[in-house]
Chain A
């Protein structure tokens, strides 16, 4: 078996965010560290975020920091990763990619203790940076520029200190004196004083390391003790802009420190209701500096933001002033952006971009009590305003692909988030749309168009004046203003069915109807052209200056707009067949006329005709569709990087000196929509008109029709079939995704003052206006809030209701009784039904959200609350919510049936007073519930005490199979409790999951991988007959067939193991079981071992794995989800030829395109075990971003053309997945 790994949904967790001018222009950009990928974001003045670039780096990114040379204008990015190297990246806006400027090796790979990469600090003046490890090692590199203004890097200078643990690191602003770096560290070396309690004589030190630029060495300059709970050191602006020195954050206090300056400490105000005995920790920080002022923004572990300012004169700091600012979700990283925005990368839940409404200069009143300042938490934001948020699935805790609502394609159900951010997310493949308006129309329209106010320059973004809707026999003109009203004054003929309407020339309008053309000039003068004789116009196509009509009988008439602004007939041609559709190509930039026309008749192929004067309307190329009738044609130019074609040079010339923005030359595409729902796409050569690079895709059951729209200012194409698909250019690639919207009949682009770029469409007799805001997002999400951290969910086999288990330790003590809770949940559910976007968490306006955010002291270790919820998967209504009592922690659940009983029961395993590390509990039970009221309510039958915590439960042959600690048991239902019928204790550690098939049980162990267990019914006996040869910390597994299991582990490996054929047969042939039962393997293992079929390292902790097909009737694939919110797929190959092709491609890419952060790709994918039989599709898909010379070289090695390679990559994704 060979598998192909593809990421369906990129990781959404952000571990670090930095900002800077990475393009080298004035634009402020945000760079996100997704743990294994880098993403560059841009935002506009309205605070709308747009993703510019996403790059998988095939390594683990531990830290990133922006770096700018003295008096430079461009920020470089320094990356500390697990590659044992430091990498300096530069964003290349012309190619839209990161260029590796420098790569310096200093140590071994991996996230090790003494290998630098964990911490990064730069000199604020841009002369050097320090890269540090958790323990001991610190290296300083000097950066400079050479005579050609290129960045140069020195050899490393060591600043090691053995036996020290580093907590934080930053550069100290000393102006242009020798650069200084500050660290907070603890020296753990034994100094012989063993009688002392260790913790007490350990000191946490702030140390200044000075880089002497003259002597070229690093010395420890100064060291001073700081609070033992210190965890963050921050740079204070120095030189002419501030006092210099550093701020130290520790529990409850923030202190200013500098060499030769007394410490200035300030207490952090606390929120009312927090536990004063527990230290308040600052977990993320950012600073803002502008002329004449600077401040710091820090966030505490409960989400409160504080603003810190310094009261200083010269280099003397008098006071550190801390004031409460606002409360936002707890963030991994907050970044104050230069132009009045704040980006917060949430730990769990959506990330947000906020706008600063004020800086909180008027102080809030603080309450003094018990030697401590307190403040009341505001229910809503005061100084900040959320402008946009990035949806995040982090963390995905359980995931299933099911079709619960009986749609065509299955939906994905994921349990996401923790505590307050918990939710059930329902994902459907499709780009989310934002519906703006919907109004009924008097009839069913046959076409819809929009007309702009003026048509001076087609490139410029301008709002539309009219919407024209054509019905049978009539046309109505709607004027767009504050309201949309009918207008009879436009000069448009309203008593006929309009075939085409569009702006023509400078300021005229073209209307085509069955009798001819109306050319309406700006001054309302109308030039008419009538179809000759009894012929009528069937089809029309036009661009800014050219019009082509197809008359009945197969005649083509070609018009051009002349200098005087009049339409004149240029050429006529009789095609001798009735034309089914025609399409003229858009005018290329810098020209007046376009050169191609595509025509098809009812039975024949698509012909591309030339519009040049010397061979007007003669055929230049042809495309055969194998007698399938053509429904629609479209020619669109889109900014797509064509495979193997070098365009960057001419591009660079165009933009020399100008603002360096992403500019990819456009490529002309011919789209052919067939009657059978298939779309074909080809590239038209802009010189010869030749067609090449044909791609095919099935869109739906209805004929495919095309409508041109604009997306982000670029041309895009809507393809309407039984689903709505959008072809658009995203990050230089042509994306084709369905929209999450009902099937549309007609569509046109739309823009008004309220909505700068949208789509107006008709569905039967309704008019709809919607926008496409979340480009690049492949899944439309519905989010249903839950009470606390979800754990698992199952589906009731008869009613299809979801049963969700929620369980959380150390929860926030909110004193809510259950009825109030239900009411609140009902309100929440009501909201979520209307709103299919998941910005619920941030919605500050609704009252229930306000309640939800109020923080109460945490309950502490060993305190739990757990809920069992029954939910209707159609309405998302909670039907029943049961809270477990007596501090019970729930772990797993299953539905099961028992012999001699027709009811379906729910078994839930729980523990009382559980502490996880080290494991402690006072009782452990399996609770059995009965479904009542048609499965909408639960009723406790009884609790059965067991002696260890049960993490795994499953139904097995009318019994309940449970993993109780290390023993696997089968229970039957008794009168007062579950009765133990059978047991085996041969599993090494703790059973975490059980799957059954026939008489076999496949058991996953928390440390010791997969075990195959046989149940002998005749003997009522369980025995382990095969296990794995390597230790794997199983998190989830799934059965692929009777002998094969796929699983994933805590370290991020996905694997497939299989029982050898002879063993499988032997087990089946052993009638008494005595042979295998008494057979023992070596070292207490099972007698037989599993074979490894496939092995792959994903890079994140993989939480769930499941086998499913994503489309109705599509091939089955393995789907996995990770803790960072990524969804990936492993697609089995079906032909040896494909395996050879893709493995060669992967091999070539490894050599030609090594990963960005300096990690070896093969070594990375073999992090814990050597990669086996899995080809990395994420690497293969980077083929597209290679430069054309390399693309051609690799394609040559594969004896194919670059376009063919791309086609193969695209086909694999579209045919096997979505």
Chain B
């Protein structure tokens, strides 16, 4: 195995272990989704952030937590249809 390949496989391994780590070929969508998921999980993890959102939205903390978790599933909407766009461009 060449050095480059081994480096790649090592990187891949890291990517797998540490969800949310970026790489050279990351798309804007992937990056943004990761950012959003990180932010949302930080809001859920720090109880005071949760209270803050709950106060501003005037909803219960349980509801806010659920809303944020639900948003983590798909924080930036569906991924852009890369192939279709390219076909259109062609």
B and A form one assembly = yes
Q: CA–CA, A284 to B62, complex, Å?
A: 7
User: Is there a chain B Cβ closer than 8 Å to A1101's Cβ?
Assistant: yes
What is the 8 Å Cβ interface bit string for chain B, positions 27-42, against chain A (1 contact, 0 not)? 0000000000110011
Residues of chain B within 8 A of A849, CB atoms compared: none
Taking a contact as CB atoms under 8 Å apart, the answer to whether A202 and B73 are in contact is: yes
Rank and list the top 4 A-B pairs by shortest CB-CB distance, nearest first: A283-B62, A111-B45, A113-B41, A810-B58
Instruction: Give the tally of cross-chain contacts (CB within 8 A).
Output: 126
Taking a contact as CB atoms under 8 Å apart, the answer to whether A419 and B66 are in contact is: no
Report B23-77 residues with CB < 8 Å from chain A CB.
37-38, 41-42, 44-49, 51-52, 54-63, 66, 69, 72-74, 77
Chain B: minimal CB distance from A231 (Å) = 5
Residues of chain B within 8 A of A113, CB atoms compared: 19-20, 37-38, 41
CB contact under 8 A between A162 and B45, given known A194-B78, A283-B60: no
Q: CA–CA, A808 to B58, complex, Å?
A: 8
CB contact under 8 A between A809 and B57, given known A114-B20, A394-B51: yes
Residues of chain B within 8 A of A199, CB atoms compared: 73-74
Taking a contact as CB atoms under 8 Å apart, the answer to whether A188 and B60 are in contact is: no
User: Is there a chain B Cβ closer than 8 Å to A3's Cβ?
Assistant: no
Residues of chain B within 8 A of A1123, CB atoms compared: 48, 51-52, 55
Taking a contact as CB atoms under 8 Å apart, the answer to whether A198 and B78 are in contact is: yes
User: Is there a chain B Cβ closer than 8 Å to A330's Cβ?
Assistant: yes
Taking a contact as CB atoms under 8 Å apart, the answer to whether B66 and A231 are in contact is: yes
Q: CA–CA, A188 to B19, complex, Å?
A: 13
Chain A: minimal CB distance from B46 (Å) = 5
Q: CA–CA, A197 to B79, complex, Å?
A: 10
User: Is there a chain A Cβ closer than 8 Å to B4's Cβ?
Assistant: no
Q: CA–CA, A394 to B52, complex, Å?
A: 11
CB contact under 8 A between A62 and B45, given known A114-B19, A190-B79, A202-B74: yes
User: Is there a chain A Cβ closer than 8 Å to B18's Cβ?
Assistant: yes
Q: CA–CA, A1124 to B46, complex, Å?
A: 12
User: Is there a chain B Cβ closer than 8 Å to A42's Cβ?
Assistant: no
Taking a contact as CB atoms under 8 Å apart, the answer to whether B45 and A112 are in contact is: yes
| 23 A-B interface contacts by CB (under 8 A) | A13-B51, A60-B47, A62-B45, A111-B42, A114-B19, A134-B45, A167-B66, A167-B69, A198-B74, A281-B60, A283-B60, A283-B63, A301-B62, A347-B61, A348-B51, A348-B55, A394-B51, A809-B57, A810-B58, A1052-B48, A1100-B48, A1124-B47, A1124-B51
Taking a contact as CB atoms under 8 Å apart, the answer to whether A418 and B55 are in contact is: yes
Number of interface residues of A (CB under 8 A): 56
Residues of chain B within 8 A of A330, CB atoms compared: 60
Taking a contact as CB atoms under 8 Å apart, the answer to whether A15 and B38 are in contact is: no
Residues of chain B within 8 A of A194, CB atoms compared: 78-79, 81
Binding site for A on B (CB under 8 A): 16, 18-20, 37-38, 41-42, 44-49, 51-52, 54-63, 66, 69, 72-74, 77-79, 81
Residues of chain A within 8 A of B60, CB atoms compared: 281, 283, 301, 330, 347
Interface of B is mostly: helix
Q: CA–CA, A62 to B50, complex, Å?
A: 12
Binding site for B on A (CB under 8 A): 13, 15, 35, 60, 62, 82, 111-114, 117-118, 134-136, 162, 165, 167, 186, 188, 190, 194, 197-199, 202, 231, 281-284, 301, 330, 332, 347-348, 394-395, 397, 418-419, 789, 808-811, 858, 861, 916, 1050, 1052, 1100-1101, 1122-1124
Taking a contact as CB atoms under 8 Å apart, the answer to whether B48 and A135 are in contact is: no
Q: CA–CA, A447 to B61, complex, Å?
A: 55
The closest CB in chain A to the CB of B46 belongs to A111
Chain A: minimal CB distance from B84 (Å) = 9
Q: CA–CA, A395 to B16, complex, Å?
A: 40
Chain B: minimal CB distance from A1089 (Å) = 28
Residues of chain A within 8 A of B47, CB atoms compared: 13, 15, 35, 60, 62, 1124
Which of A165, A283, A394, A418 is close to B69, meaning CB atoms less than 8 Å apart?
A: A165
Q: CA–CA, A111 to B38, complex, Å?
A: 10
Residues of chain B within 8 A of A348, CB atoms compared: 51, 55
The closest CB in chain B to the CB of A107 belongs to B18
Which of B48, B58, B77 is close to A1101, meaning CB atoms less than 8 Å apart?
A: B48
Taking a contact as CB atoms under 8 Å apart, the answer to whether B51 and A134 are in contact is: no
Taking a contact as CB atoms under 8 Å apart, the answer to whether B59 and A810 are in contact is: yes
The closest CB in chain B to the CB of A14 belongs to B47
Taking a contact as CB atoms under 8 Å apart, the answer to whether A136 and B45 are in contact is: no
CB contact under 8 A between A135 and B45, given known A113-B37, A281-B62, A810-B59: no
The residue among B42, B54, B55, B79 with the most chain A CB atoms within 10 A of its own CB is B55
Q: CA–CA, A808 to B56, complex, Å?
A: 8
Residues of chain A within 8 A of B63, CB atoms compared: 281, 283, 301
Residues of chain A within 8 A of B45, CB atoms compared: 60, 62, 82, 111-112, 117-118, 134
Residues of chain A within 8 A of B20, CB atoms compared: 113-114
The closest CB in chain A to the CB of B50 belongs to A15
The closest CB in chain A to the CB of B81 belongs to A194
Which of B37, B51, B77 is close to A135, meaning CB atoms less than 8 Å apart?
A: B37
Q: CA–CA, A194 to B74, complex, Å?
A: 13
Residues of chain B within 8 A of A82, CB atoms compared: 45
Residues of chain A within 8 A of B62, CB atoms compared: 231, 281-284, 301, 332
Q: CA–CA, A117 to B51, complex, Å?
A: 19
CB contact under 8 A between A281 and B66, given known A113-B20, A162-B16, A810-B59: yes
Taking a contact as CB atoms under 8 Å apart, the answer to whether B49 and A1101 are in contact is: yes
The closest CB in chain A to the CB of B74 belongs to A198
Residues of chain A within 8 A of B51, CB atoms compared: 13, 347-348, 394-395, 1101, 1123-1124
Residues of chain B within 8 A of A114, CB atoms compared: 18-20
Q: CA–CA, A282 to B66, complex, Å?
A: 10
The closest CB in chain A to the CB of B57 belongs to A810
Q: CA–CA, A198 to B47, complex, Å?
A: 29
CB contact under 8 A between A916 and B56, given known A113-B37, A167-B69: yes
Residues of chain A within 8 A of B55, CB atoms compared: 348, 395, 397, 418, 789, 1123
CB contact under 8 A between A162 and B69, given known A113-B41, A194-B78: no
Residues of chain A within 8 A of B58, CB atoms compared: 418-419, 789, 808-811, 858
Q: CA–CA, A348 to B62, complex, Å?
A: 13
Residues of chain B within 8 A of A282, CB atoms compared: 62
Residues of chain A within 8 A of B42, CB atoms compared: 111-112
Taking a contact as CB atoms under 8 Å apart, the answer to whether B44 and A118 are in contact is: yes
Residues of chain B within 8 A of A167, CB atoms compared: 66, 69
Could you list 5 further interchain pairs (A-B, Cβ under 8 angstroms) beyond the known A281-B62, A301-B59? A62-B45, A283-B60, A301-B63, A330-B60, A1101-B52
Q: CA–CA, A13 to B66, complex, Å?
A: 20
Q: CA–CA, A135 to B42, complex, Å?
A: 12
The closest CB in chain A to the CB of B71 belongs to A165
Q: CA–CA, A916 to B57, complex, Å?
A: 9
Taking a contact as CB atoms under 8 Å apart, the answer to whether A165 and B72 are in contact is: yes
Taking a contact as CB atoms under 8 Å apart, the answer to whether B57 and A136 are in contact is: no
The closest CB in chain A to the CB of B66 belongs to A231
Q: CA–CA, A395 to B45, complex, Å?
A: 18
Which of B41, B56, B81 is close to A112, meaning CB atoms less than 8 Å apart?
A: B41
Which of B18, B41, B59, B78 is close to A111, meaning CB atoms less than 8 Å apart?
A: B41
Chain B: minimal CB distance from A1103 (Å) = 9
Q: CA–CA, A1119 to B16, complex, Å?
A: 46
Taking a contact as CB atoms under 8 Å apart, the answer to whether B73 and A186 are in contact is: yes
Residues of chain A within 8 A of B74, CB atoms compared: 188, 198-199, 202
Chain A: minimal CB distance from B83 (Å) = 9
Residues of chain B within 8 A of A186, CB atoms compared: 73
Taking a contact as CB atoms under 8 Å apart, the answer to whether B61 and A283 are in contact is: yes
Residues of chain A within 8 A of B59, CB atoms compared: 301, 810
Residues of chain B within 8 A of A35, CB atoms compared: 47-48
Residues of chain B within 8 A of A1050, CB atoms compared: 52
The closest CB in chain A to the CB of B54 belongs to A347
Chain A: minimal CB distance from B41 (Å) = 4
Q: CA–CA, A418 to B84, complex, Å?
A: 49
The closest CB in chain A to the CB of B37 belongs to A113
CB contact under 8 A between A135 and B52, given known A188-B73, A301-B60, A419-B58: no
Residues of chain B within 8 A of A136, CB atoms compared: 19
Chain A: minimal CB distance from B35 (Å) = 11
